[in-house]
Structures are given as C-alpha cells and as structure tokens.
Structure 1
Amino acid sequence: MDINQLRTFVTVVREGSITRASEILCRSQPAISAHIKSMEDSLEVKLFERNSRGMSVTRSGSRLLVVAEKLLEQHQRFLEEASRVRGSLTGELRIGAARCSCRDTVRRLLTELYSRFPELEVKLDRGPSASVLSGIRNGYLDAGFYVEPEEEQSDLTAIEITRFSVYLAGAPQYAERLRGGDLNVLQDVPCICPPDQSCYGRITDRFFAEHDFHPRRIIHVDDEAVTRKLIADGIGIGVVHAAAQPENGISVLSEVRQSVRILCGYLVERANDPVVGVIRSILNGGDDAPAPVRPKPKFGKLSTLVGGVR
C-alpha cells in the first residue's frame, strides 16, 4: 500500500463517488477502483458499499479513515521538513486553477516558479472551483485558484487575486424588450447558463429565484467564449463574467452579482510549508520565500506549464 492509495481512499470517502474522485485526483475511474480493490484485498477489510448515489464508507472504513487522514498529514509534514533540511525546493508542486481564474496571475506564478526554482516540478490541474477546493483539502493540491465559495472555509488561508462582476447579457433587441425591468418578458427566450453545480451556476440560480424568473429553456454551457458567441448571434440571453460592450453585439441586461472574488488558497496547517511560502511570496510580491537555488536550468517545461492556462 502506498501514499497514493491512502489519498484515493480519503478522497472517495469525502466525495462519495469514484467519478468525482477521479476528476479531483486526475486519475481514470478504473485506476481509482483498482486502488480501492487493492486496499480491500491487502487489508482484508471492506471499505465501501455501493448505493444508488455512489459509494458510502463502511463502519470499518470510517475507523480506518481517521488513521488515513493522520498518515497523510504526517506524510506532508515529513516532506516539508525534508525541504527545510535541504535548504532548497525540489520535488513536485501541484496547483489547481478553476477555468475562471485570472490567467495572467496564474501565468506569472508559473513563470516565476520555473525561472526561480528549476528543480521544482510544477503541475497545473484545471477544473471547477469545487474540484480545486476538494483537491486542496484532501492534500492532492498544494494550493489552488478558485471562486470564493458560499460555505465556511476556516480551514483555508486565502489570498485575494481579483474581483469582477457577473451580468445577464443579451443581443440589443432583448435590451429593448426589457425596458420595463421585468425579466419575465424574456422567459420564452433561451437562457445560456453555467452548469448547475458550478459557482456561477449557483449564483445564477439565486439571482433567478430573487427575481422570480423562470426561463422555459435553459442551455448549460461551461465556456464563456461559446456563451458570448451564442448571445451575439441572437440565440438567447446568457450569463457573462464581465461587462460586455455593445459594439460586440451584446448588451448588459442586468447585474447578477456586483462583486465575485477569485482567491488562491491553501490549508491553514500548511502555512509554514516552504512550497506554500514560495507561492505566497510570489503572489504578494514579498520576500518571505527561501532564497532560490540556481542550478543549471532545465529546458522544455515552460510551454507545457503555461500552455494550458486559459
């Protein structure tokens, strides 16, 4: 049994689903299932029961979960202490980034890490904010960029990266129909919305509920560029993350949320982790990171790291 199997076990328990665990850990579902089977075979203990909603941990699994979480915590502390002993940063750093993250900040962070710490292997994982938060909490990610959630996050330390507004937008002809201010005059118009379980999806649902607006047809799109194109083509109204300019064939119909924060967060208990200190230093523009070691640079990584930032 290795540390990755323990991490898989803890993640499946927290998510209650092999599918969601595979997304968070960036492993295939068969690989996740194989980890669980291998653990059950070697321990001779049944860890999970399958049900209509996914996976539920057994009583035996719950007892082992407490120990597994402590082992993962001790493993992380071991790695942190090793970094301090070496006096330099090597190994692997995993950063999560929601699709809505500030791409310039993510790019700057990756570039700085690459240039200042050539021996540090950096991996960028993209996904929904919920997956980024889960990855941070289960130890798979060292830090991550995400939309500020509604729920309490006292277990995380977060750095504010930027703020922006969310708008309901549409082609100019829909703005004319909305002059009276009642959104229900547009209920027959297709509405292009973020996925229900995304941060923006929940923000949109709350806005619609507050205005008693019930569009008869909803098109779920998880790509703002596509949403903007559909809006400009007159397909329907939709939710966008920044004020759209009229000359682009898009008019702002209503403000959905005045201020949404993008954060970069990490576990409170990892505040003294040298790797986390480097991230904090770069984002804050400070000097609290350990002095970088500059061995002969390696080439060929930067395009891989930065190429996925969108």
Structure 2
Amino acid sequence: MDLQQLTVFVTVAREGSITRASRRLCLSQPAISARVQALEQSLSLTLFQRTPRGMSLTADGEILLTRAEAVLAARQDLLRQAARLGGGPAGRLRLGAGHNIQPAPLRRLLTELARHHPDVDVALEYGASRDLAEALQRGALDAAFYHRAGPAEEGLIAWELARFSIQLVAPSDWVTPGPLDWRRLETLPWICPGADSGCGRAAEALFRRHGIRPPRIIRVDKESMTRGLVAAGAGLGLVHEGGTDEARRQDGVTVLCEAGPPVRLVFAHRADRADDPLLNVVSALVDGAPVH
C-alpha cells in the first residue's frame, strides 16, 4: 500500500466513478482500476461494489475512507511542519490568482511564506481562471489559485479548497411572485463578467438554456462591484454562493436561482513538477483535499 493508492481510493470514493476519477488524477482508467485492485489485495478487503451506475463503497470501504482521508491529511500536515522546521528552499515563485477568488487561502499562504520562508521571492499575478490554467500548462506560472467549473485540466495536479454554487440575484423590488419569467428577465439589465470567467460562463449557459440574449449587459469583472450594483437596483447579477450571503446583508437583494453546477476553488501546479522542493513546500502550506 502506498500514498498514491490511497489518493486513488479517496478520489474514486468521492467521484463514484472510475471515469471521473481518471480525469481528476490525469491517469488512465486501467491505471485507476489497477491501483484500486492492488489496494484491495494488500488489505484483503473489498472496498467497492461495481454497479452499472459506477463505484459504491462497501461497508469496509466506508470505514476505511475516513482513515485514508486522515492519512492523506496527516501527510500534508507533516510536510507543512517540515517546511516550517527545515528552513525550506529559496527561489522565485510565480503565483497566479483568479480575479474573484476567496482571499483567505491566498492571504494565508503569503503570510506563511513571509514568516517562515523569507528567501522565497513571490511574484503574484491576477487573471481569469482559464488563462491561469493555461499559463500553468505552458510553464509561465509555477502555481495558481483559481475557480474550476469543469473537468481537470490535462497535466495539472490540484487541491480542492472550497466548493460553492453561482447564483443569480436581483433587486428585490424587481422580483414578481411565481415561476421565473425568462422573457421578462431578458429585457432587464444584466451585470456579468466576461465569458472567460466562472460567472461569465454560467451566464452564457443560462442564456443558452433559456433561449435568451439580454440586449443590455454591463461587463464588470469585480464581484464586489456586481453586488453593490445589484443592491443599488442597476440590474441582475451573478455572484458566488459566499458572495450571495454578503449580498443578502445589503438591503433589497433577492436570490432568483442557481446559475449552474458547483464551482471549485483549487490550488494547482504542473503534475510533472510534483517533486519540485519549492512547490512541495508551498503545497504543504495550502489546506485542501487532493483532487488532481
């Protein structure tokens, strides 16, 4: 049994599917199946039931899933402590961050690096999630925090830090009782970022799903501005679930619906740099579940 087998086990358990786990881990489906079988053989236990709908945990698998997650978390904690004790490497870290990511994980990482690894020179660059993932793939960035709405990008390894929905909100006095009237909503002003952002893609998906194309779209790439404009009655807006909580605290804002599937905040770097000492230190300082 090794840590990679445990990572595969946890990922298959979370995804409920060999296919989805293979996309997450950037491994072939036969490789995923082989690691699951090897782990089952080493433990002399059956961890999954294979069904037409996918992979479901057995009773033994349910018990061991919690332990496996604890082992992987303990590994991260060990690396984190070692990074603090060992002085760590020096060098330049080209770090990317999405425009509208939650600031806490980034702030925590930068604080830890400043306190315990003063020889790491951080260059922080903001951008759209898709652009950051592409920059990682071509080697223009070392690591990045960004929002992932679809499958894992090829060649990257990632840790999930948070999961949330994107919601459509409106000024409360624009809302009428009953089902949403999408033809009426189409005539109203919409406040959306560009289509290369998570909220922008969610808006485009809404437009396609309901066969609408609002003629008045205010392009805003800062969610705090979107929330303020909606509260002021300037238009409909799309905000992240946590942002919706903040929007609710502003008078006159109502949630209309969820705009699409959940979005994940991930921290990622290239898979072929998994043994890079600097990235090992940085990854150990980031709290998250490995999703690759």
Q: TM-score interval w.r.t. the shorter chain? A: 0.5 to 0.7
* Cα shift readout 1:125-148 (whole Å, capped 9, x = no counterpart): 111112211221222211001111
Residues in 1 aligned to 2:112 and 2:230: alpha-carbon distance in whole angstroms: 37
The code of the aligned residue for 1:197 comes to D
**1:254 matched to 2:267:** no
Residues in 2 aligned to 1:180 and 1:282: alpha-carbon distance in whole angstroms: 46
Residues in 1 aligned to 2:129 and 2:240: alpha-carbon distance in whole angstroms: 15
The code of the aligned residue for 1:116 comes to H
Contact 2:129–2:196 (CA under 8 A) maintained in structure 1: no
* Cα shift readout 1:264-283 (whole Å, capped 9, x = no counterpart): 11001000101110121111
Q: Indicate the SS of the match to 1:160.
A: strand
Residues in 1 aligned to 2:202 and 2:238: alpha-carbon distance in whole angstroms: 10
The code of the aligned residue for 1:210 comes to R
Residues in 2 aligned to 1:133 and 1:258: alpha-carbon distance in whole angstroms: 20
Tell me the CA shift for residue 237 of structure 1. 1.0
**1:179 matched to 2:178:** yes
Distance 1:285 1:155, change over 3 A: closer
Tell me the CA shift for residue 120 of structure 1. 1.3
Q: Indicate the SS of the match to 1:100.
A: coil
Give the equivalent residue in structure 2 for 1:222. 221
Q: How does 1:165-176 map to 2 (within 5 A)?
A: 165-176=165-176
Aligned with 1:271 (options 274, 277, 281): 274
Residues in 2 aligned to 1:209 and 1:114: alpha-carbon distance in whole angstroms: 46
Q: How does 1:10-159 map to 2 (within 5 A)?
A: 88-150=88-150, 152-159=152-159
Contact 1:102–1:162 (CA under 8 A) maintained in structure 2: no
The code of the aligned residue for 1:96 comes to G
The code of the aligned residue for 1:135 comes to A
Identity among equivalent positions (%) equals 35
Residues in 1 aligned to 2:210 and 2:195: alpha-carbon distance in whole angstroms: 18
Identify unmatched segments of 5+ residues in structure 2.
1-85
Tell me the CA shift for residue 221 of structure 1. 0.9
Contact 2:145–2:266 (CA under 8 A) maintained in structure 1: yes
The code of the aligned residue for 1:145 comes to F
Contact 2:160–2:288 (CA under 8 A) maintained in structure 1: no
Residues in 2 aligned to 1:246 and 1:121: alpha-carbon distance in whole angstroms: 39
Identify unmatched segments of 5+ residues in structure 1.
1-85, 287-310
* Cα shift readout 1:186-237 (whole Å, capped 9, x = no counterpart): 2211111111222321121012211223222111111112111221121211
Number of matched pairs? 200
Contact 1:98–1:145 (CA under 8 A) maintained in structure 2: yes
* Cα shift readout 1:101-140 (whole Å, capped 9, x = no counterpart): 2211100001111111111111211111122112212222
* Cα shift readout 1:24-81 (whole Å, capped 9, x = no counterpart): xxxxxxxxxxxxxxxxxxxxxxxxxxxxxxxxxxxxxxxxxxxxxxxxxxxxxxxxxx
Q: Provide the alpha-carbon RMSD of the alignment.
A: 2.2
Q: Indicate the SS of the match to 2:262.
A: strand
The code of the aligned residue for 1:180 comes to P
Tell me the CA shift for residue 248 of structure 1. 2.6
Contact 1:232–1:250 (CA under 8 A) maintained in structure 2: yes
Q: Which has the higher contact order (CA 8 A, sep 6+)?
A: 2
Residues in 2 aligned to 1:235 and 1:102: alpha-carbon distance in whole angstroms: 24
Q: Indicate the SS of the match to 1:215.
A: coil
Contact 1:166–1:256 (CA under 8 A) maintained in structure 2: yes
Residues in 2 aligned to 1:285 and 1:207: alpha-carbon distance in whole angstroms: 30
Contact 1:102–1:161 (CA under 8 A) maintained in structure 2: no
Q: Indicate the SS of the match to 2:101.
A: coil
Distance 1:246 1:215, change over 3 A: farther
Contact 2:164–2:240 (CA under 8 A) maintained in structure 1: yes
